[in-house]
Structure 1
């Protein structure tokens, strides 16, 4: 009998919108435990494993309710709730109807959420109690506001009343997720049935990766990465435990309680874990850490791979070794999946913000400001082609076309490529500062160097602003629990930054977490920090 992976790999019409319904139609191991949520949802207690068969019943109940309320094919529907269970079940129910869920992180402010959903043009909004109360006083469009629906009541429908599953075409929009929104109103990123599944299809043709048997997802619930992780788990016969909160403490506690073999997350999660005292914590079950979104810092990776284990194959057979595997890369909502992979273990040493080589399905290049490809070693903007790329920005053709050149998507990341085909990420283009004379200050690379030079610094943020007299840089450091806050680290930081950047350094400041403004996915809002520092400098 063929495995689930092999059976699904042969399904030409399979995509992000119909994995669950295909499993049911093909009767593929429906009574295996598939999904666990950290909060009660639709009568399923928190921490209870749901089988594929039971998951289908829960989804059909929601689809029946939504269908009875007139939701159908091509309807864009806003979804905002803090519970990962509400997000996942609602996505699956709307996909069954051929509707288009516009998933909004519950951490986005009500005012920004309303402006975003108005721009998307949703026909209704499905929200939990807290978000309904918050949105009721905003300028959400009249039609959407009148359609505010309690997301927690959708599961009361009769599964038997659900209509037959919508039959997807590859180009059909299957979901709208949003960018990080660190510079204002997030962009609405439209994903297709095929694009959001292209990387999974690639993986189904390969041997099952070590560490995905039992996966803890610390990915933000409304993000495209969660939808990919969900479908990857369903296609791979894996168990997935999805967390609604991605704090360092909550992830560590979930690892100890649920004993996953793999943990999926963003760089912000590993950063928070680095600020958590891991001494004496039981992380031995973990064989794999999988990172997407921003690439991770070496200091954070090294802390994680010192825990757990990995299995290697030798002449003597399978051998279990101490120390786990960390798969790094670089991705975004628009890229649809990380386009790179770099494998770290305790025995490897390719760091320096190396995001690795490209996946077989991706074609990245480095370009200058006019879109011309740059040679090896020169820093430019990352441009990439891939079947995973999103359709573009919903209701925003101007931004869609501005970020495309010769079929490539311009990611906004400053990178370079070496002669071996490895790519290195130095900064976001908007965060990099021109120092003149052909020299630049790259904030992300500067943070990497400070973290490597100061072991007692758990995380840091470099804030560089241009004033009338030049560039001024502050380094904000968040300390390890055992560090001495009174210690002067200026000399070590100055040496780590290098001569050109060190010449702009004003001060090194010890800060706590509350002083670093974060976006809804945990990404540092550097634009907000720059505005704050410019205002402060102007007042002096």
Structure 2
């Protein structure tokens, strides 16, 4: 059976989903002894970066399933998983779904106080974590018993594992959480079918260039990692998982592993923009694959100038300089990016264009009443898709509040053009009404500043209401060697829309440490607004209003 046949067989089987891809691969009995997966930390007796086969992966998973079953874990039991090592998180998730349990993945970068509150709301049957997080959580009441240390599970007997659980289409197979940039993260529930729907769609397409040997720089405790894992297993593609998403870790791994494709979030591409990529060997990379928030033009251009890809030149397939960058827009709740656009050094459709919807997506730009808007009118993105999560765990109020007329409201402000391309301008919570028909969209303003100011690596626009007027501060993170003392107010204002430029109070160069980030690397703009309100002497109700 060829790779194409493996893909076709899994895509055609309606019983295959996010909860049983590994078992389905084992049942096919093909390609089980080829090196397929690697992790950046030691796993059991397997050294870091040593590739393991599908057969060995199954053995490691069954060992953990046996150990968890011995602890009484079984079908429909939610179990918290929180570990620094991506490999431990991935293997634990696979073992729990094999049992029919529900892994509740918690980002290890979430601070202990917030993590404890989040875990308490899950009402899980146990917490599966590493020594560092066991110590960090010791002073907090999670309301959940600790299970054995996550690294000890590999000592289980693989032959003692119960038979793989048979999932139904709507069975919950994972709980992952939102970024938490506006407060306590929301617990999002994914089903057997929803978390596999986009994978099934991709299996029916030709395997894209750059997807046969992957490096995942996605957070290990994220739905995107589970999707990447299932896609690799279903496509018979090699994949290596990083536990860190920093540029330094990614660059080192690229030079070591020589991947053809790199998966990540916008925060990683932003971090890479701080490095001279021409000084590194990135020639193996044909594809950068972004998910979650869409990426900024300047960061994309920085990446596609590197690497190499195959292209038709004079009717012949040749290797040429420059790579491709697949952008889009997704979220934990959306289950997969719902849009796609591919950038190369030769393309020029930017301006926060997230592309066109995938064929499995039905979306619309909606007004506050839930009615569809016309092209070029800005509204909230509503979407229907088989990839959508079931809702929020233990929070039916939020689940139903985010639905209108059959659409899931993503919290993103977008518009579409007459060709059907969609453009992302901001998050609803970050956009500010200016009056006279004008709004300040922070994300689009940041895009404009980055394009207009070449020595700015990243930018954060903080807008708060001071009485009847809006005051905006523009925080600039500069390239190495840039003059931090030079006043850039004039060029920043020139890059902004006129109504937005009039609100600018100050333009200031800041250190990276001045920008608070959430566990997935997103800027915590709500916290920044609270800090700036405090600096203006505004507190109480105004701060609460700014945080909404």
* CA deviation string 1:473-521 (max 9, x = no partner): 1111111113222222111101001211110101111111111000000
Q: How does 1:321-470 map to 2 (within 5 A)?
A: 321-470=320-469
Q: Contact 1:276–1:481 (CA<8 Å) still a contact in 2?
A: no
Counterparts of 2:267 and 2:255 in 1: how far apart (Å)? 20
1:255 Cα deviation after fit: 0.9
Q: Contact 2:17–2:195 (CA<8 Å) still a contact in 1?
A: yes
Query: Which residue pairs with 2:512 in the alignment?
Result: 513
Counterparts of 2:81 and 2:469 in 1: how far apart (Å)? 45
Counterparts of 1:358 and 1:175 in 2: how far apart (Å)? 25
Query: Which residue pairs with 1:299 in the alignment?
Result: 298
* CA deviation string 1:80-139 (max 9, x = no partner): 111100100000000100000000001111111111111111000001001001111112
* TM-score for the superposition, normalised by structure 1: 0.98
Q: Contact 1:132–1:148 (CA<8 Å) still a contact in 2?
A: no
Query: Which residue pairs with 1:254 in the alignment?
Result: 253
Query: Which residue pairs with 1:522 in the alignment?
Result: 521
Counterparts of 1:197 and 1:321 in 2: how far apart (Å)? 34
Query: Which residue pairs with 2:186 in the alignment?
Result: 187
Query: Which residue pairs with 1:56 in the alignment?
Result: 58
Counterparts of 1:539 and 1:427 in 2: how far apart (Å)? 25
Counterparts of 1:423 and 1:10 in 2: how far apart (Å)? 31
Counterparts of 1:139 and 1:66 in 2: how far apart (Å)? 23
Q: Contact 1:447–1:461 (CA<8 Å) still a contact in 2?
A: yes
Name the stretch that deviates more: 272-281 or 425-434: 272-281
Q: Contact 1:456–1:482 (CA<8 Å) still a contact in 2?
A: no
Query: Which residue pairs with 1:90 in the alignment?
Result: 92
Q: Contact 2:277–2:306 (CA<8 Å) still a contact in 1?
A: no
* CA deviation string 1:358-404 (max 9, x = no partner): 00110110001111111111000000000000000011000000001
Counterparts of 2:206 and 2:497 in 1: how far apart (Å)? 44
Counterparts of 1:41 and 1:514 in 2: how far apart (Å)? 33
Query: Which residue pairs with 2:543 in the alignment?
Result: none
1:147 Cα deviation after fit: 2.9
* TM-score for the superposition, normalised by structure 2: 0.97
After the TM superposition, which parts of structure 1 deviate over 4 Å for at least 4 consecutive aligned residues? Answer: none
Counterparts of 1:43 and 1:482 in 2: how far apart (Å)? 45
Asked whether 1:28 is paired with 2:67, we answer: no
Structure 1 unaligned regions, length at least 5? none
Counterparts of 2:344 and 2:315 in 1: how far apart (Å)? 21
Q: Contact 1:327–1:342 (CA<8 Å) still a contact in 2?
A: yes
Counterparts of 1:56 and 1:115 in 2: how far apart (Å)? 34
Query: Which residue pairs with 1:103 in the alignment?
Result: 105
Q: Contact 1:111–1:139 (CA<8 Å) still a contact in 2?
A: no
- Secondary structure of the 2:475 match is strand
Counterparts of 1:97 and 1:18 in 2: how far apart (Å)? 10
Q: Contact 1:275–1:459 (CA<8 Å) still a contact in 2?
A: no
Counterparts of 2:147 and 2:427 in 1: how far apart (Å)? 37
Asked whether 1:278 is paired with 2:280, we answer: no
Counterparts of 2:221 and 2:450 in 1: how far apart (Å)? 30
Q: Contact 2:117–2:142 (CA<8 Å) still a contact in 1?
A: yes
Q: Contact 1:101–1:176 (CA<8 Å) still a contact in 2?
A: yes
Q: Contact 1:342–1:356 (CA<8 Å) still a contact in 2?
A: yes
Counterparts of 1:182 and 1:300 in 2: how far apart (Å)? 22
Q: Contact 2:292–2:337 (CA<8 Å) still a contact in 1?
A: yes
Name the stretch that deviates more: 507-516 or 297-306: 507-516
Query: Which residue pairs with 2:11 in the alignment?
Result: 9
Asked whether 1:212 is paired with 2:214, we answer: no
Aligned CA-pair RMSD: 1.1
Query: Which residue pairs with 2:119 in the alignment?
Result: 117
1:314 Cα deviation after fit: 5.0
1:277 Cα deviation after fit: 2.8
* CA deviation string 1:424-456 (max 9, x = no partner): 000000000000111000000000000001111
Counterparts of 1:272 and 1:158 in 2: how far apart (Å)? 42
Query: Which residue pairs with 1:488 in the alignment?
Result: 487
Name the stretch that deviates more: 172-181 or 307-316: 307-316
1:276 Cα deviation after fit: 2.2
Name the stretch that deviates more: 114-123 or 323-332: 114-123
1:42 Cα deviation after fit: 1.5
1:54 Cα deviation after fit: 0.5
Query: Which residue pairs with 2:235 in the alignment?
Result: 236
1:468 Cα deviation after fit: 1.1
Query: Which residue pairs with 1:317 in the alignment?
Result: 316
* CA deviation string 1:246-299 (max 9, x = no partner): 011111111111111000000001001112232411111100000000000000
Paired residue total: 537
Asked whether 1:504 is paired with 2:503, we answer: yes
Name the stretch that deviates more: 530-539 or 196-205: 530-539
Query: Which residue pairs with 2:160 in the alignment?
Result: 161
